Amino acid sequence: MRLKIVQAGEPVLRQTARALSVDEIRMPAMRELLAHMRETMRDAPGVGLAAPQAGLGIQLAVIEDRPEYMAGVNPAALAERERTPVEYFALFNPKIVSYSEETVEFFEGCLSVAGFSALVRRARRVTVEYLDEQAEPCRLEASGWFARILQHEIDHLNGQLYIDRMETRTFSTMENLGRHWKDLAIAELREKLEVDR
């Protein structure tokens, strides 16, 4: 069953989501919710989906960056973004425990801000602690695009959207991004838009 993805303006997207107990994570109903979230994310398609985007104020996100999402993408762009496939997994109660000082900026979109994109600066590397589907503690280090996905989804659990972090002059419809900006290097884009660093 596909879940309805709520859009910017829904209060749940601006609230800090509630942490889940070990017992809640292990409930059979949670397996069902995870299956629905995975199907919804794939159907959209997206590389991540946080529970608040489905109208649920709980600390849960699913992530998956499938190889087919990278088909037809310029290999230089994939390399610049450090983008490689990420197998499906779920995170409960995730916390970013360290951020690299080094940052990178790329265009980001969001299933809850449908049809738009903007340049967002984020840490190049992060370390995240979370509970997995069995409520076991996990820790992972991520860099590049994977680190960006994690930061984006964990922001959702803290009531934040990418538009809170975006370079406002770069806010664009997806259609215009594809038509005018998609193939430009960031420095070239900044020059065209006269965006200050």
With H, G, I as helix, E, B as strand and everything else as coil, classify residue 91: strand
Buried b / exposed e over 69-105, threshold 16 CB at 10 Å, is ebeeeeeeeeeebbbeebeeebbbbbebeeeeeeebb
The confidence score (pLDDT) of residue 192 equals 79
**What average pLDDT does this structure show over 143-160?**
98
Instruction: Indicate if the pLDDT at residue 197 is higher than 70.
Output: no
| Active-site choice (64, 105, 153, 167) | 153
**Backbone dihedral region of 93: left (phi > 0), alpha (psi from -120 to 50 degrees) or beta?**
left
Q: Closest Cα to residue 40, out of 31, 48, 28? A: 48
The confidence score (pLDDT) of residue 196 equals 52
CB atoms under 10 Å from CB of 24, counted, come to 15
**What average pLDDT does this structure show over 52-76?**
95
Q: What share of the chain in percent tops pLDDT 90?
A: 84
The confidence score (pLDDT) of residue 190 equals 78
For the residues of 167-188, what is the DSSP string, one character each? -GGG-EEHHHIIIIITTS-HHH
pLDDT tens per residue across span 74-109: 898 899 899 999 999 999 999 999 999 999 999 999
The confidence score (pLDDT) of residue 195 equals 56
Q: Which domains does the chain have, with CATH numbers?
A: 11-168 (3.90.45.10)
**What average pLDDT does this structure show over 26-50?**
97
Residue 186: pLDDT band with limits 50, 70, 90 = confident
State yes or no: is 108 an active-site residue.
Answer: no
Whole-prediction pTM? 0.94
pLDDT tens per residue across span 114-147: 999 999 999 999 999 999 999 999 999 999 999 9
